[in-house]
Amino acid sequence: MFKNIVVGISGGVDSAVTALLLKEKGFNVTGVFMKNWDILNEKGVCLAEKDYKDAKKVCEKLDIPLFQVNFVKEYWNDVFSNLLEKYQSGYTPNPDILCNKNIKFDHFIHIAQTKFHADAVATGHYVKTSFGPYLENFKPHTDVLMLQALDANKDQTFFLCQVSQQSLRHCMFPLGEYLKSDVKKIARVAGLTEIAEKKESMGICFVGKREFQHFISEYIENKDGDVVNLDNGKIIGKHQGIHHWTIGQRCKISGLDDAYFVFQKDLQTNVITAVKGTNHPALYSDLVVVQNPHWIVNEPLELTDSERILICNFRFQHRNPLISCKIFKTLNNQLIIQLSQPLRAITIGQLLLLCLVCCSIFWSNMFG
């Protein structure tokens, strides 16, 4: 059923091994490099150009064709502009999640199907689905579940938070069955040692090695404000804009011996409220309200009955351990989540993950 596969080739080891595994399985593999950002970094270098050269090396070694598609405009409109808007509103967005939702698993799938006649697309994400890594269990009109990868340390279900059911039905994730260490070994055996040893990209790609505060000031105008101590209401310092800071982050306040951390950001007054000590009780919460839930599969039956409670697992940061929680649904479709233990720095505007017993996943926008 699935024969022609387009692989998103990034120039890294994960996508390289994904293409290799698919070719060894007998699929017709075409590599596509997505150019999402074309602005020079702080050193006057466009990182996309270096990655494209590495992608060409990979495809030449594997003897598969490589094409480049330009999603710079789409990335700016659907990811970066959204990020700027959220920061200006005092929220903490996640560009990786937005990129997966709007670019890799929307625009990329569309162009793969229309221009390259792909039956499915594949990426180097560490995640599983109920259809299997090569869609070998595919059944028409059957919902696909998203499952955690074998490598718990690399599991990327968090970043595929808002991928639609329709997109998942046309996606292959071969690396969900492998450990990262095994992926590197496969690359070395295949003669891709240079790619296997390539330093893995971390953080927000378009920021580079600059401090985030310096980067974001190029796009959002600074606005000076006060930093106030939550415990006594006294002004303890100044800031250059609430968009520079997120909840739980350490404040940079000169002249103070004690470390203070962001507790709250007030968009109206432009005041940041801070607390002394990284483990201040005010930074912890065991109750979360969310809105606009996005279910990868159908909403659990427990939430269709106002008298029932959904018990599942909760995560709001990539590598945080899952913890148990209880969920109640309100009449206006908000979810009240009671955590089994308080967590630090849960932030308005973040996305969170709920993992059911069967490992299907839903995401929502955190409301408060």
Active-site residue set: 99, 205
In sequence order, the β-bridge partners of residue 324 are 313
Both tokens of 292, joined, read 């606009």
- Provide the pairing of β-strand 66-70 with 28-35: parallel
Residue 16: how many CA atoms within 13 Å on its side-chain side?
Answer: 31
Q: What span, in angstroms and rounded, lies between the C-alpha atoms of 351 and 357?
A: 20
Say which DSSP state 13 is in: H
- Tell me how far CA of residue 311 lies from CA of 138, 298, 300, in angstroms: 29, 16, 10
Residues of 309-330 as b/e, b for ≥16 C-beta within 10 angstroms? ebebbbbbbeeeeeeebebbbe
For helices 47-62 and 13-24, angle between their N-to-C axes, nearest 10 degrees: 20
Q: C-alpha angle with apex 278: 273 to 283, nearest 5 degrees?
A: 55
Classify 40 as helix, strand or coil: coil
